[in-house]
Amino acid sequence: MKYLKLIVVILISLSFGCLIKPPAEVKFELDTNVIEPGGIFHIIVTINNTGKVGIVGADLQIEGDDFVIVQSPKFPSPLKVGESTTLIWTLRGPMIPGTYTLRAYLDIIDELHRTWKGNIYEVTIKVVKGGENSEINISLPGQNVTYGGKVVEMPLIIKNNLEAEVRITDIEVNSGDLKVLKLPKTPIIVPPSSTVKGVISLETPPKFEKTKIFIILEYSSKYGRGKKVLEKDVTVLWQPWMLSEEEIIVAYGNISKWIFMNSVVDEYWERFYGSNSTINRRELRNDVVPLINGSKSDIEAAKAIFNYIVTHFTFEERGITTLNPQIIRSSATISPIEADILAVAYFRSINIPARLLAVYNGVDCTKYPFVEVYLSGRWYVIDFKHLFFGTREDYISSRWYPAVYQEIGIFGNELVALKPDGKEHSHEDLTSVYVSNTEKTLMVALYNKVDPETYKKIKNVLALLDSKNEKIFALFLFNSGDPREVEDLLSKVNAQKLSGTIKAFYEFYYDIKWEEDFRVYWEKLLMTYR
């Protein structure tokens, strides 16, 4: 019996060991441990995902008031299993000379929103006057502002301040979303008291970006080995209205087709409403360019167009009188769907991909229309009926999406992008894109919306629900409430009771057409417990 207990204890210990296995291998480095008073130095962290799920964040905390983090990196989320990344934190040291102990703690957050602690780094930093590492200097001259969709060449200048030869053994560039095309080949020999030059080629992304470029240079000399880090601020402007057709095709690839289509809707719409939706690009572009003058990005331009349509026209809850963007632009009053059509035409006229989406039941494809516009690398949603402007994920977690989800996730209809090419029904089916991302997007939205204790309680409620659509219905409810309302309800009602009520709600409402504003059902749920 004694041996049996021992075996059980060993098995439990092993199982817990597996559960708490860290999700990543972490390596800490410094570029220097000797600095001037108040000098800048860098902690370089390499994270290798050796776990079972993606990593979505890394948070560095330092101990003591003498050191300050002045710049934290943007995490390249998500970091997939088997991938690695290098993150660089910029720190400022103490103002008073002396020897200091720096202790840093790195927390890693995975896709399941678990925080993994235990990555600790301790190092001694010497603060002395004249203590800056001046064995070599590196610089990256040139402009700090460039344009998206371009290849940029930056001169790299390496100066050897020693009276001995320096050997550059490695050059690494951490450039965020800027793609590294070419680096100087290593090793590079820098003679005593000399300077060598090289070129770094980068491809800028087709989006607005404010980032830091870090050059990490490793070198050796007869005095030993060293590491030097240079950081440079770069702003990438993305103004697709300034680009040629050829540049647009290169920048957007296949997505550019949503710029060059000459009509907004397919033939079914045009026959149904007795109108055409042909776009006069030159006429509409003349309208739009003054509105976006000075915009540094496509997102700024899109917001300017959205605000112009909302403030310039009077919206009426009525049917469509025309699909023609040129007639719509000359009208004083328009319907929300006419605003959607005009927005798509405006965006395309300035080289921004845009399309009209609607629910298709196999016969009709005019229900629940809204706009998708491709901005700085992701799809955004514009819905003039509800004055909504946000990312696709924002829309999925809004009060207006559940009615669309019921059509495509419960009733079996399709969500399609209208792709006019001369056929009556010409669509690109986006149903699976939306349905497959709904639950995950709603969970992420709640994770960011409520406190950790409430989020745990929500997960407990979901665990007691049977079907996927019951869970999604519950998530729609919680996302429709204000954070304080959600926290208050879950503090008063236990998971068992609340899950039972939500099941009853779902069974009653699932096959009845949902209200456009899903908050109606959240308020009914609150009333149940008042």
Domains and CATH numbers, the chain: 23-127 (2.60.40.10), 136-237 (2.60.40.10), 244-396+413-430 (3.10.620.30)
CA atoms within 13 A on the CB side of 123: 20
Q: Which residue has the tokens 């939706």?
A: 277
Cβ of 214: how many Cβ atoms within 10 Å?
A: 23
Confidence (pLDDT) at 6: 46
Contacts of 182 (CB under 8 A, 6+ apart): 199, 200, 201
- DSSP annotation of 407 reads I
For residue 313, what are the β-bridge partners?
none
Paired sense of beta strands 145-147 and 40-49, if any:
unpaired
Confidence (pLDDT) at 9: 44
**Whole-angstrom distance, CA of residue 213 vs CA of residue 140:** 10
CA-only gyration radius of the chain, Å: 29
Q: Residues 115, 91: contact at Cβ < 8 Å?
A: no
**Whole-angstrom distance, CA of residue 137 vs CA of residue 441:** 46
Which mean pLDDT values do the consecutive 10-residue runs of the chain (530 residues) have?
Answer: 48 46 87 89 93 91 86 86 92 91 92 88 89 81 89 94 94 90 95 95 91 92 90 94 92 95 95 95 95 94 97 92 96 97 98 98 96 96 97 97 98 96 90 97 95 94 96 97 95 94 96 96 94
**Whole-angstrom distance, CA of residue 117 vs CA of residue 105:** 8
Name residue 169's amino acid.
T
**Whole-angstrom distance, CA of residue 30 vs CA of residue 43:** 5
**Whole-angstrom distance, CA of residue 367 vs CA of residue 386:** 15
Does this model's pTM top 0.85? My answer is no
Q: Residues 303, 318: contact at Cβ < 8 Å?
A: no
**Whole-angstrom distance, CA of residue 347 vs CA of residue 345:** 6
Q: Where are any strands of DSSP class E within 31-83? A: 34-35, 40-49, 55-63, 68-71
Token code pair at residue 358: 């609607």
Confidence (pLDDT) at 75: 87
Cβ of 216: how many Cβ atoms within 10 Å?
A: 21
Paired sense of beta strands 333-334 and 314-315, if any:
parallel
CA atoms within 13 A on the CB side of 328: 30
Q: Residues 32, 131: contact at Cβ < 8 Å?
A: no
Name residue 113's amino acid.
H
Confidence (pLDDT) at 131: 65
Q: Which DSSP string do the residues of 86-112 spell out, in sequence order?
A: EEEEEEE--SS-EEEEEEEEEEEEETT
